[in-house]
Chain A
Amino acid sequence: MRPFTFTSAENTMQALGAVKGNSKYLAGGTNLIDLMKEDVERPEQLIYISKLEYNKITGNADGGLTLGAMLSNAETANHPEVRKNYPLLSMAMLSAATAQIRNMASNGGNLLQRTRCPYFFEVSMPCNKREPGSGCGAKNGMNAVHAIFGYSEQCIAVNPSDMCVALAALEATVEVQQPGGGSRMIPFTDFHRLPGDQPEKDTNLQPGELISAIHLPKSIFSDHYYYLKIRERSSYAFALLSVAAGLQVNNGVINKAGLAMGSVAHKPWKLTKAEAFLAGKKPTQANFEAAAKLEMIDAKPFKENKYKVEMGTRAIVRALTQAFEREA
């Protein structure tokens, strides 16, 4: 690890004010510290933000819920309100990492965790995300865990988060505090970005912006939900592919479907075509299959990740089936 200075912020003003040069906010550190040890991240200053006031879960006037960014993944996933009204989020979050990591990991940090692309982690390898212009090692190399949607010539990496897949399905909003004072709201689907020509940028956050909260709209998927995570062992592994599915069913007809897929693109992949197709339809196997096909027909896999197309198709159908069959 390289030397850095350490600033512990007592409040938002201090945190935002401390930003200069190559600074990084430090929350749970479960991703940032690992990357510093690997020499991938080389901040000159760490600004410790875990003591900031965004550490509560509060109800909103519109019936929604606000999750503080400094709250741990464990506290969030196990919170009674989240369990009751947003079980899809709870299920996704509890499928991630281990109990120990979830105790350390913050909600804000989870949104900003970086890709698990092996070339990104190894500083002697080419990687446009880590070192713009150095090339993408994965494209003609090992790409079993890479994207099948929305990638660019520059980068084919995926976002590895489970929590974010559920947040995309739930259509959350991210609140950020700006360095000059003031705050702004970012719809979840606009929070992460596709790699395009700037794969070094994972999100649309501006320099120095601090995530303070995640807002969830009024719950509509608490009866029919499922988070399906496919991985190489039963626990403690990142997803090869995942699907978050929420269904609002009235009188045997789908009123609204919330669907997103994980580990297939540079951002949580919202399945908008499938969502639109399912609205107003009956929750049948045939409709689930038709919805899955609508999405997966656009998949463009690489040499080693062809399996993701069939896996993804089955996963959508399976997640929808389990969501529908699940008794509230």
Chain B
Amino acid sequence: MKTLNESATGKAIDRVEGHLKVTGMAKYASEFPIKDKVYGQGLNSTIAKGEIVSIDTSEAEKLPGVLKIITYKNAEKLKTFDNKMTEVSTTTIAPVLQTNMVHFYGEYVGLVVAETFEQAQYAARLVKFKYKKDANPAIHLEKLRAKAYKPNDKSDYSRGDLKAGLAAADERLEVTYNTPIEHHHPMEMHAVIASWDNGKVIAYASQQIVNDATIAISDTFQIPKKDVRVVAAYVGGGFGSKLNVERHVIMAVMAAKMVGKPVQVTVTRQQMFTNTSLRQHNEQKMKVGAKKDGTLTALSHETLSHTSPTLEFQEACGLGTQMLYKVPNNFVTHRLVPLNIQTPFAMRAPGEATGSFALESAMDEMAWKLRMDPIDFRVKNDTQTDPSNNKPFSSRLLVECLRIGAEKFGWKDRKTEPRSNKKGNWLIGHGVSAAARSAPYLKTNSKVILVLEGDRVNATVQMDATDIGTGSYTIIAQTASEYLGIPVEQVKVELGDSNFPVTPGSGGSWGAASFCNGAMAACVNAIKTLKQNRNIKEEEEVELADLMKKNQLTKFEAEGSAGPSKEFDEHSVYSFGANFSEVWVDKDTGMFRIKRMVNVGAAGKILNPKTAYGQIIGGLTMGVGMAQAEQTRIEPNFGNFITRSFADYHVPVNLDMANINVVFLPEDDKIANKMGVKGIGELGITSVAASIANAIFNATGKRMRDLPITPEKLIEAKIEPGINI
């Protein structure tokens, strides 16, 4: 049964929740009108390592409105980590205020609860901590190489013999790339309103995965999972920072119990730097060997990075290097150094965004060494079988992405020789890079409720999925519209409540595929059951309203669930893409402008070209940020972040963005999942920075291997002969 209509999947309809958002009716975590709520303000440590020796709350306690000051001295005992390093996940507990030990600068050391937000903020200034400071906090990755360790079995990978591969090469390259600490900085800061009712917790919280949030909260407090409800109806961006439960949520839940009132904690923009996760600094050493004809003989990728003293996170920078090109000799390692910095965690395309900068820059460097066109070089080493596990790709249109992109971009007019394209004060360059992002697909449950009103059926789809600004509401509504055969206006989608059927939530680019297949399953089940009940053949076309009438039903509910097939497991399932950039570098100032970008993606069925386009331009923008300016800088003597607001953590502005052409290649991949949907949220950022750095090389003849590429660095690289003083 399939009644195609104007709002079905594949149509570029407007966001179904758009009006709610632009009129301020969509409620974000801190906006729920909870009666009698009070406010918590987190207190941050001002040392990177050491211990609290005394706390003076007397002045703060005297202030009007102050209800409670919670520190390790009076905090509720929570489940804590055992001694060995725990790998951080989306369900990891978040113990807070449990000891007097400080592990990083800005760590929460207390919470002030007061009747108003202003009172809480003021009182927070008056609580005085005295510390015994450790003289040598671990904050310099470069100086602590010797402490690097191998986190787990997934850290290393090899095939063939790297040494032999390098020996067999005609050209060899060994270079190191650096990507800095970055912060997610979604527009909506992390926030929660928590309350207790009859021993049960309800938390309105800005989270990407509500089910995992209930696990983390219940586990931290050692209460049954069923006693915790998390609501995240609208989430103003996450980029990975809201995958797990951060400590403000736990503090709010704890405080709500202690003061007997709902407690709201909103993380300030400054605290977004210290009390949410981050993308860690990666130092990536690449070795590449190739024959004169462009055949890769060896490829290695060694990543040195950091984690916190208590928890472990390893960003898989080398994953792409294992699977993207057909190279017989491959070697990948990941090493971590524990630093007195908070635990890093997934940020948009973890591993791919950063790893692709190293891999796709190195590919460009090798192409130039070989004097080979960088597209031809990549095509030469293309493969339809994933060399890391010998599974066939379910679909792989990388070559098509590169070729079609080249055409749209006008690649043939590019000047191959660096510094040969000048206009006035500008040095002009063109760069290309390839992108691959796995397209995970996870088990998803959903429920559909059909209500017959006159001749029309209104449907409500429920699942605990979230819409983090990506368009989940819209594509789920389109899916239901398609499989129920009713216009999208008759579909209501309800998300972000842990009382709804369990989904994997938003993250890892699995949302669209998982949610829509899950919704489809419920809709298909509904129709199937209604037909079976009346002995109607499955292929027979019957309007949903008629079907309800034939069943003499005015209300009907069905559930469904979908998940990866055996075929899925037998394949490597990825989205592919190509990025093209034209960059104009000012020869005197070192400032550059990205004039044009072309992004071609092969990411399965595009459910809604409008929201998909939004995802890609969002990814490209973040990629530009990565290339151009985003960087969190650590103070070398104190270990705090000196970038602490948007005035100094520079994300791109409109003027930085190029003229963007986004192209989706049609792809029908039913191995990926029944609907043929692959993720695109993270494909968009993958390898963008490399295409820009490669364009800068083409423009200036200088290889910029450390992100971000700032005017300071370009001036220091001497892109133009200096004036001798």
Contact = CB atoms under 8 A, between A and B. Distances in A.
B122 A3 contact: yes
A43 interface: no
A289 B723 contact: yes
Contact of A230 (B591, B643, B720): B591
Given A230-B589, A235-B653, A144 B121 contact: no
A141 interface: yes
Contacts of B711: 230-232, 240, 311
A139 to B, nearest CB: 11
Contacts of B723: 289, 292-293, 310, 313-314, 317
A301 B720 CA distance: 21
Given A141-B637, A142-B635, A314-B723, A232 B650 contact: yes
B716 interface: yes
Interface in B521-536: none
Contacts of A235: 653-656
Contact of A121 (B637, B644, B722, B725): B644
B588 A141 contact: no
A184 interface: no
B640 interface: yes
Contacts, number: 108
A236 interface: yes
B642 interface: yes
A311 B590 contact: yes
Nearest to B425: A318
Contact of B725 (A119, A141, A296, A307): A296
Chain A interface residue number, banded: 35 or more
A267 to B, nearest CB: 21
Nearest to A309: B725
Interface string B569-597: 00000000000000000001111010000
A233 B647 contact: no
Contacts of A39: 125
Contacts of A315: 588-589
B479 interface: no
B628 interface: yes
A92 to B, nearest CB: 16
Contact of B588 (A144, A234, A318): A318
A5 interface: no
Interface in B631-677: 633, 635-638, 640, 642-644, 647-648, 650, 652-656
A314 B644 contact: no
Nearest to B589: A230
Contacts of A208: none
Contacts of B656: 233-235
Nearest to B713: A307
B648 A118 contact: yes
Interface string A1-36: 111000000000000000000000000000000000
B118 A234 contact: no
Given A125-B638, A141-B637, A311-B715, A233 B629 contact: yes
Contacts of A142: 633, 635-636, 642
A228 interface: yes
B653 A236 contact: yes
B195 interface: no
A236 B629 CA distance: 12
B437 to A, nearest CB: 26
A232 B628 contact: yes
Given A1-B121, A307-B715, A314 B633 contact: no
A317 B722 CA distance: 12
Contacts of B637: 137, 140-141
A291 to B, nearest CB: 11
A116 to B, nearest CB: 7
Given A140-B637, A233-B652, A315-B589, A238 B647 contact: yes
Interface in B102-123: 118, 121-122
- Choose among A1, A39, A232 the residue with the greatest number of B CB atoms under 10 Å from its CB: A232
A3 B116 CA distance: 13
A303 to B, nearest CB: 10
Interface of A: 1-3, 39, 116, 118-119, 121-122, 124-125, 137, 140-142, 144, 228, 230-238, 240, 289, 292-293, 296-297, 306-307, 309-311, 313-315, 317-318
26 contacts: A1-B118, A118-B635, A118-B644, A118-B648, A121-B644, A125-B638, A230-B590, A230-B711, A231-B591, A231-B711, A232-B629, A232-B650, A232-B710, A233-B655, A234-B591, A235-B654, A235-B655, A235-B656, A240-B711, A293-B725, A306-B716, A307-B716, A309-B725, A310-B715, A310-B723, A314-B722
Q: A-B pairs with the 3 shortest C-beta distances?
A: A124-B46, A118-B642, A234-B655
